[in-house]
Amino acid sequence: MSTRAEKFAGLSVAIVTPFRDGRIDSARLREQVDFQAQAGVTCLCPVGTTGESPTLSHEEHERVIAETIEAAAGRLLVMPGTGSNSTAEAVRLTKYAAAAGADAALVVGPYYNRPTQQGIYEHFKAIAESVEIPICVYNIPARTGRNIEPETILRLAEIPGIAMVKEATGSMDQASQILASTDLTVLSGDDSMTLPLLAIGGRGVVSVVGNLVPADMKSLLDAFEAGDLETARHWHHRLFTLCRDLLGLASNPIPIKSAMAMLGRDTGEVRLPLVRLEKPLEDKLRGVLGEYGLLSTGQATACRV
């Protein structure tokens, strides 16, 4: 299968932004990049929803982009989040990412101000025409308050710089319409929907659970690519509860940061208005990690890569 941005097919991981005492923990950020590089993932996506971009200052946002690219050192692709509900701000951030050496930009639909479909089209057109790196349209209406309708994405596909869609609507009909009518590279924006999306022509996932078990999610993708549907289904079922609870116990990235703290890979610190998991939910998450085999007798074990 040939799509517009095939080099991004496979496993991308939406990495967290580590904090310590309210500040970005650069050393731990580099550890996260090394962890993913050793796992052989295709691409890193810093400063997205999982990276708590809404609470980063402009300087911090740019700093995380630059440090991730520097730490990746060409070992894997980097597609930072550069979206905003202000077109001018999204253009500025995307230009910064391109100048810093990013391989692509992940641009979420404009949120809160709820533009018309024409406004959404003009927003992405302005961003795509401002840089030479490919743009991934991130459609997550549960976060933005506005769906990017498939007809709008079909129009955007006529713009050379628009290369990918991160599909997080939960609608297989919408994804099918895009896949049937364009050569855009469609990536799942929801871990538990990865296999269904692959089945209709999706080419990978931008994963949250990949922060913990990149090798397992990669095994699912590799099995499907090899035509081994039985093994792909095995990994889908194995990962399902972990994926569900990492995104369902509380708003992302609260559960994933809590899980990484339990595994000794993050402080678990989040910025207001996000707060850490309450004790009953922490206990439930600990149980899920134990059932998966990541925790044993309450002690953190090294996460598989």
**Catalytic choice (121, 125, 166, 257):** 166
Residue pair 84/93 in contact (Cβ under 8 Å)? The answer is yes
Told to judge if 166 belongs to the known catalytic residues of this protein, a careful annotator would answer yes
Per-position DSSP letters for the chain, written without gaps between them: ---TTGGG-EEEE-----EETTEE-HHHHHHHHHHHHHHT-SEE--SSTTTTGGGS-HHHHHHHHHHHHHHHTTSSEE--B---SSHHHHHHHHHHHHHHT-S-EEEEPP-SS---HHHHHHHHHHHHTT-SS-EEEEE-HHHHSS---HHHHHHHTTSTTEEEEEE-S--HHHHHHHHHH---EEEESSGGGHHHHHHTT--EEEESGGGT-HHHHHHHHHHHHTT-HHHHHHHHHHHHHHHHHHHHSSSTTHHHHHHHHHTTS------TT--PPPHHHHHHHHHHHHHHTSEETTEE-PPP-
- Residue linked to tokens 């890979």: 265
What is the Cα–Cα distance from 305 to 300, expressed in whole angstroms?
15
- Tokens standing for residue 117: 């479909």
Told to judge if 7 belongs to the known catalytic residues of this protein, a careful annotator would answer no
**Catalytic choice (138, 218, 257, 292):** 138
Q: Which residues are the active-site residues?
A: 138, 166
